[in-house]
């Protein structure tokens, strides 16, 4: 088991920008691509991921200080610190169920593919920490490793089925054929988003309002382009953070750069993925006529869409206001404020890019995210202590907005809590 754990740790330590090119190249060769074509696809995907993560780092580096300043300006004093998804990922990878969840996840995916129970081939191994996180919550709640593994297994099955269901949105709206997103922190909200969207359809006047990046650009020309939207939204955040004019302009320009560069990085990524998707389809059709397979990836490949980024940026002050006034909330939003696009992406994706509806639905979802983050704080803190996480001075409990976004795992967690 130690050998398996060390192997998994070595692969994860490579990071997505190294791990993904290796996986893509191996898959290309398995699907009978020429060696040169497989290597080129793998390297192109690696460059795309590197570009995406560099731009996201630019986004986070500039927004995090602004978010902290807004927290101070809003005078929030809540006793559960949002330590962010990176810390929850590190905590999850420090739990004893890591190798078992990895092996189980790969096996479940393979079996479901073989029996046509899913079309998604999840190659996003890094984000297996999502499955580990849900399993660890139940394991530390009950003390039962078996129940923790069962939670992870159920989550994997549901996520793969939802990834299949939502693939048409990825293909038609985000223009990424053959790609699905088995990303636990956001895909669990899809059924709720669809219901809320149908409710909005029934509300007079509101159901006629449609604001999306494409229509804004068509109506306002160059002023409606993503880079100008980034300047305006970044400047607004700078003003709310209490920045001086220099800081407001700098933040606006950096947000404009993010809005401009992320879609281009996604195109580079797709340049490498399309040949693999085509080869996979040809290979499978030659042996299993009619069989279709989607490549399961990280949500990072779509968060650069201008409508997604617009909602993400606008949700930062809304989240802080909700945290201050929401009864029962104890989570102090901080680290994950810069990563809301990962949690709330489907508010935009499932409404075909309607920013107005995306904001309404995201606000409703954030209420639940804050409540869930508060509810799992005790177990999350226990997990952090067990793996030796160094608590910031004065911090007694930790959670995260990302942790509160794992809706599927949370439902299972509450069922187990009720029955146990």
Q: Packing angle between helix 226-240 and helix 245-287, nearest 10 degrees?
A: 130
Where exactly are the structural domains of the chain? 2-419
Specify the pLDDT at position 90.
Answer: 79
- How many angstroms separate the CA atoms of 365 and 197, rounded? 12
Is the CA virtual torsion 309, 310, 315, 317 positive or negative? positive
Which of helix, strand or coil describes residue 296?
A: strand
- How many angstroms separate the CA atoms of 84 and 82, rounded? 6
Burial class (CB in 10 A: 0-12, 13-18, 19+), 85: buried
Judge contact between 118 and 138, C-beta under 8 A.
Answer: no
- How many angstroms separate the CA atoms of 250 and 238, rounded? 9
Specify the pLDDT at position 222.
Answer: 61
What are the pLDDT digits (tens) for 62-113? 877 887 787 777 777 788 888 888 778 878 887 888 888 988 998 999 999 9
Residue ranges, the chain, pLDDT below 50: none
Specify the pLDDT at position 160.
Answer: 97
- How many angstroms separate the CA atoms of 140 and 147, rounded? 10
Specify the pLDDT at position 274.
Answer: 77
Specify the pLDDT at position 322.
Answer: 93
Specify the pLDDT at position 87.
Answer: 77
**Percent of the chain beyond pLDDT 70?**
92
For residue 320, give Cα distances in angstroms to 239, 274, 368.
Answer: 15, 40, 14
Backbone angles phi, psi at 164, to 5 degrees: -65, -45
For residue 65, give Cα distances in angstroms to 68, 136, 260, 304.
Answer: 5, 31, 21, 21
End-to-end CA distance of the chain: 29
Specify the pLDDT at position 118.
Answer: 94
Which of helix, strand or coil describes residue 179?
A: strand
In DSSP notation, 304-355 reads TSHHHHHHHHHHHHHHHHHHHH-TT--EE--GGGGGHHHHHHHHHHTTTT-H
Specify the pLDDT at position 284.
Answer: 72
């Amino acid at each position: 088991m130690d050998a398996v754990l060390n192997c998994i740790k070595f692969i994860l330590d490579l990071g997505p920008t190294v791990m993904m090119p290796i996986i893509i190249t191996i898959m290309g060769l398995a699907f009978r691509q020429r060696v040169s074509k497989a290597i080129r696809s793998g390297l192109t995907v690696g460059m795309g991921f590197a570009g995406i993560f560099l731009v996201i780092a630019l986004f986070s580096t500039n927004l995090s200080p602004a978010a902290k300043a807004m927290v101070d300006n809003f005078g929030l004093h809540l006793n559960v610190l949002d330590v962010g998804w990176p810390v929850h990922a590190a905590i999850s990878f420090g739990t004893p169920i890591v190798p078992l969840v990895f092996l189980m996840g790969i096996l479940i995916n393979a079996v479901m593919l073989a029996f046509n129970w899913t079309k998604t081939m999840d190659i996003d191994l890094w984000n297996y920490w999502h499955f580990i996180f849900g399993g660890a919550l139940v394991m530390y709640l009950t003390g039962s490793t078996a129940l923790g593994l069962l939670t992870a297994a159920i989550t994997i099955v549901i996520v793969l089925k939802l990834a299949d269901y939502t693939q048409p949105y990825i293909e038609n709206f985000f223009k990424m054929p053959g790609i699905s997103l088995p990303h636990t922190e956001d895909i669990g909200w899809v059924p709720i988003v669809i219901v809320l969207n149908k409710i909005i359809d029934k509300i007079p006047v509101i159901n006629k309002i449609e604001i999306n990046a494409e229509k804004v650009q068509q109506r306002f020309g160059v002023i409606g382009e993503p880079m100008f939207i980034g300047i305006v939204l970044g400047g607004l955040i700078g003003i709310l953070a209490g920045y001086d004019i220099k800081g407001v302009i700098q933040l606006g320009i950096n947000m404009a750069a993010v809005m401009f560069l992320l879609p281009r990085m996604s195109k580079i990524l797709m340049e490498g993925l399309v040949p693999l998707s085509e080869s996979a389809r040809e290979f499978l059709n030659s042996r299993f006529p009619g069989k279709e397979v989607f490549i399961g990836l990280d949500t990072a490949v779509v968060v650069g869409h201008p409508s997604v980024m617009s909602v993400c940026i606008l949700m930062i002050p809304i989240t802080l206001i909700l945290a201050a006034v929401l009864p029962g909330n104890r989570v102090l939003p901080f680290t994950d404020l810069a990563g809301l696009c990962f949690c709330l992406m489907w508010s935009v994706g499932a409404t075909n890019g309607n920013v107005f509806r995306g904001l309404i639905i995201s606000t409703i979802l954030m209420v639940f995210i804050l409540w869930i983050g508060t509810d799992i704080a005790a177990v999350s803190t226990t997990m952090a202590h067990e793996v030796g996480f160094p608590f910031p001075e004065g911090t007694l409990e930790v959670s995260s907005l990302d942790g509160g976004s794992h809706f599927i795992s949370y439902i299972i967690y509450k069922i187990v809590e009720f029955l146990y």
